[in-house]
Amino acid sequence: MEIRSKVALITGASSGIGAATARMLAAEGVKVGLAARRTERLEEIKNEIIAIGGEAITIQMDVTDMNSVQEGTNKLVQAYGTVDFLINNAGVMYLSEVENLRIDEWQLMVDINIKGVLNATAAVLPLMTRQHSGHIVNISSYAGKKLAKGLSVYSATKFAVSAFTEGLRMELGPKYHIRTTVIQPGAVKTELFDLIRDEQFKQEILNSRSGVSFMTPEQLADTILFALKAPEKVNIAELFAVPVDEAW
């Protein structure tokens, strides 16, 4: 499918997979809405995109706040007319065993990983249903397929993202020709591991990954691009990507 001149909203675009995807889509001629809370980082990425001849705007967005998401979506539509692609990438990962009762971390994961996806989807869906086209890509995780000790709540949020994406496919594809894809990556070199506050468990996780060749954000961005460029009537519903040497 030809994606040049399409318009993409990317949440969590200030770093990692979101930033890499923004650069890659812009290089393909997609007009990009860079959405995140850290606007100073977004400005840097926007300037990089403009320097290579691409088009992008920055959008200060808190995905846990529906008003913020709607205002950001409106800003993108005012700039470029519509939204063709939504990349729901914003997410956090706090790992610890449930008995430690790190309830504030649970709430943050539910608010960002689940509610953030719902909020952004709700903001773009009226546009996509009216134009009878669009593509929603949700970033889940290998933890959205398989559980491990210490990942109970994080996995629960990512299982929810995977289930929601499949429900969208069933409801929106036949009726509105809207495509949906859930990406389930294994170990990726991003800031997610830096967020883990349980230092003992963080070290256990890193030790378990010793010897694993972490994927780069650019490699995951290439996976997203593959799904977006699939033939128009083909829906790449699920992509599971892990390092070749990751055994988990």
The CA–CA distances, whole Å, from 21 to 31, 153, 183, 195 equal 12, 27, 13, 21
From the list 177, 20, 167, the residue with the least C-alpha distance to 89 is 20
In this prediction, residues 155-163 reach a mean pLDDT of 97
Q: DSSP letters along 69-131, please?
A: HHHHHHHHHHHHS---EEEE---------GGG--HHHHHHHIIIIIIHHHHHHHHHHHHHHHH
Q: What is the arrangement of strands in the sheet containing 56-60, beginning at the earlier edge strand? A: 56-60, 31-36, 7-11, 85-88, 134-139, 178-185, 238-241
> What are 44-71's pLDDT values in tens digits?
999 999 999 999 999 999 999 999 999 9
Q: Which CATH number fits domain 7-240: 3.40.190.10, 3.40.50.720, 3.40.50.460, 3.20.20.70?
A: 3.40.50.720
Q: Which residues are catalytic?
A: 154
204: pLDDT confidence band, cut at 50, 70 and 90? Answer: low
pLDDT score at 109: 96
Tell me: pLDDT of 89 over 90.
yes
Strands of the chain, DSSP E: 7-11, 31-36, 56-60, 85-88, 134-139, 178-185, 238-241
What is the structure's pLDDT at 34? 98
pLDDT at 192 over 70: no
For residue 10, pLDDT over 90 is answered with: yes
| Between 218 and 242, residue with greater pLDDT | 218
- pLDDT level of residue 118 (50, 70, 90 thresholds): very high
The pLDDT assigned to 186 comes to: 83
Q: How confident is the model at residue 214 (pLDDT cuts 50, 70, 90)?
A: confident
Question: Mean pLDDT over residues 127-142, rounded?
Answer: 97
pLDDT confidence of residue 211? 64
Question: Would you state the pLDDT for residue 218?
Answer: 95
Reported as a pLDDT band with limits 50, 70 and 90, residue 200 is: low
In terms of Cα–Cα distance, which of 110, 146, 135, 120 is closest to 240?
146
On the question of pLDDT at 94 being above 80, the answer is yes
The Cα–Cα gap between 29 and 120 comes to 23
241 pLDDT tier (thresholds 50, 70, 90): confident
- Predicted local confidence at residue 188, as pLDDT: 78
Query: Is pLDDT larger for residue 12 or for residue 143?
Result: 12
Question: pLDDT averaged over the chain?
Answer: 91
